[in-house]
Structure 1
């Protein structure tokens, strides 16, 4: 078993940072749209932790915090005038584009965070806790189930109208090509691969860079400007 590396801050700490970003950014800002969604997810995880709904609260908290820290680090990087990871660049680049709808912003952020950050967060949490990915699978699945349920609510809340029921609508076509369930399954496989390769630094670096680029490409497609 791996040795624990460092202390994990409480989920409350990342909630404070997300709320500060929510107060800072305009409501229609594309990153703010994602931040509100993610804030709701993290607050729900925190509520369930407090209610004792996770069998291993320490593991769930570690995974949730390491996960959130990846997004917050990207936001901090942009605030300092530097380039974030490739998976996050489309969302920050298109955050004020008038042709991109709120639902696109939300799902592009979820794609970046699930497709890239979650795999790395599993490895981060394993190092923090001194465990293997298999030891976090239950927590991974519970957080993933929560994200899936919230994604359904997000689609209902942010869908712009009944015209989306028409198969010819560009947004219906675009969003139908992406699935959180598929992204989550791919992420778990990526996390296991990264853990298995953790002693091969050069291979891990290349794998991570390619994962980052591929997820960024998918986010860019999700943010294709559409006619209103």
Structure 2
């Protein structure tokens, strides 16, 4: 699948969410979060909140199409970028908790795809004109992430154990990790915007390797987090369609 504009991105994400709901597929967890973020970005474009709405439409479309390409590659023959293979490869594991699926998708999409999409949207010196609009998306992500995090808590009653044993605050589970990743993504976008050919391919490969390492850390925690996550997995809802529905309407609440 490939979208032609941000409306197409929203529609394609909604289709993935519907298919995941029907199949009881946990891939719908991240797709639900991503759909809501994209709807909010589209609303901000329509409201004139960005310096260049048409550019943000292009940017979001390129960004979305990288996710769709990774999704299609995985569905076709389990191929695609390393970090996305890590994320999609865990959707059938019953011991992976809801927030892990969300973070795996967020990590792959931001740590790999975001910089590439920004550099393709605004190559060369044009990248610097994108910075303010790029930063505005942080507020949208933070708003949706907080809503989704609260929704996760309703179906995962022992999620608070991550705070106690992981030494992190609620905001650091989703919001802060997103902000930190986006700061690094911007730096990589500036780098990629000034590169071509082999240089750019080498940078993209490096980003993919690093994102895959981060995915493995998210998927296979060590220390006290491991028993905490076993408790969370045993007590949170295993009704995948119900969880997808709950997450997919989090921002609307």
The TM-score with structure 1 as length reference comes to 0.85
Is residue 69 of structure 2 the alignment partner of residue 66 of structure 1? no
Aligned-residue offset at 1:163? 6.1
Listed as ranges, the matches of 1:21-170 within 5 Å are 21-26=16-21, 29-127=25-123, 132-159=126-153, 160-161=156-157, 164=160, 167-169=163-165
Q: Following superposition, which runs of at least 4 residues in structure 1 exceed 6 angstroms of deviation?
A: none
Structure 2 unmatched runs, 5+: 221-225, 232-253
Query: What is the RMSD computed on CA atoms of the aligned residues?
Result: 2.5
Give the number of equivalent residue pairs.
Answer: 216
Partner SS, residue 132 of structure 1: helix
Q: Tell which deviates more after alignment, 102-111 or 148-157.
A: 148-157
8 Å CA contact retained: 1:30, 1:91: no
Structure 1 unmatched runs, 5+: 1-7
8 Å CA contact retained: 2:74, 2:85: no
> What is the alpha-carbon distance in structure 2 between the residues aligned to residue 140 and residue 166 of structure 1?
30
> What is the alpha-carbon distance in structure 2 between the residues aligned to residue 166 and residue 137 of structure 1?
33
> What is the alpha-carbon distance in structure 2 between the residues aligned to residue 82 and residue 167 of structure 1?
34
Aligned-residue offset at 1:171? 9.4
- Residues 41-69 of structure 1: CA distance to partner in whole angstroms, max 9, x if unpaired? 11111122222222311111111111111
> What is the alpha-carbon distance in structure 2 between the residues aligned to residue 23 and residue 176 of structure 1?
26
> What is the alpha-carbon distance in structure 2 between the residues aligned to residue 166 and residue 11 of structure 1?
35
> What is the alpha-carbon distance in structure 2 between the residues aligned to residue 207 and residue 41 of structure 1?
27
The TM-score with structure 2 as length reference comes to 0.77
Aligned-residue offset at 1:131? 6.5
Partner SS, residue 136 of structure 1: helix
- Residues 4-49 of structure 1: CA distance to partner in whole angstroms, max 9, x if unpaired? xxxx932111111111111111475332100000000111111222
